[in-house]
């Protein structure tokens, strides 16, 4: 295995496997429908808000990587659902499906030999590479998936 293949494999594992943290699938597994819109004590957002934020941010970075006409989303309004937004079961499932689909696309990009992980993204900010963006996604996902898991425990939803 070359160094490049090793890096790609490690990035794929970082996005998809249980390593030093739970996976997205671990966190959402058997989550009760009655709690989709629950706001844990002293938290300003619901469980669905948190998942939707993860999905939006991951999609945003995917769009940044591949779209020369990328338009940056405004924080926080365009990166979180509206405060009063509530999810139906269809919304919850759509959020999960979109998160997984976008993550699969990031993995595909990482594993495409034509992807230069270290090259400047042509339409990106100086120093922004595919490698950097994948690490940002993985870091952001791990942070909020862990948060989801802790909030789930605090709310007694395991």
pLDDT surpasses 90 at 122:
yes
Task: Give the tokens for residue 15.
Answer: 């996005």
* Per-residue pLDDT tens digits for 96-121: 999 999 999 999 999 999 999 999 99
How do the domains of the chain map onto residue ranges?
Answer: 3-154
* Per-residue pLDDT tens digits for 30-44: 999 999 999 999 999
Q: How far apart are CA 52 and CA 83, in angstroms?
A: 12
3-154: CATH architecture: Up-down Bundle (1.20)
Q: How far apart are CA 141 and CA 99, in angstroms?
A: 10
Amino acid 54: pLDDT: 99
- pLDDT band (50, 70, 90) for residue 84: very high
Least Cα distance to 9 among 85, 110, 79, 121 occurs for 110
Q: How far apart are CA 103 and CA 101, in angstroms?
A: 5
Q: How far apart are CA 129 and CA 132, in angstroms?
A: 5
* Phi, psi angles (nearest 5°) of residue 76: -95, -10
pTM comes to 0.96
């Amino acid at each position: 295995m070359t160094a490049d293949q090793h890096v790609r494999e490690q990035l794929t594992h970082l996005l998809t496997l249980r390593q030093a943290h739970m996976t997205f699938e671990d966190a959402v597994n058997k989550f009760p429908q009655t709690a989709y819109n629950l706001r844990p004590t002293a938290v300003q957002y619901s469980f669905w808000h948190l998942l939707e934020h993860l999905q939006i941010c991951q999609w945003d970075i995917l769009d940044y990587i591949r779209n020369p006409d990328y338009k940056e989303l405004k924080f926080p309004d365009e990166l979180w659902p509206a405060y009063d937004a509530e999810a139906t079961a269809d919304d919850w499932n759509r959020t999960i499906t979109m998160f997984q689909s976008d993550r699969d696309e990031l993995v595909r990009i990482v594993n495409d030999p034509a992807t230069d992980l270290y090259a400047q993204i042509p339409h990106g900010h100086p120093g922004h590479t595919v490698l950097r963006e994948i690490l940002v996604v993985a870091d952001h996902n791990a942070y909020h998936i862990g948060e989801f898991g802790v909030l789930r425990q605090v709310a007694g939803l395991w």
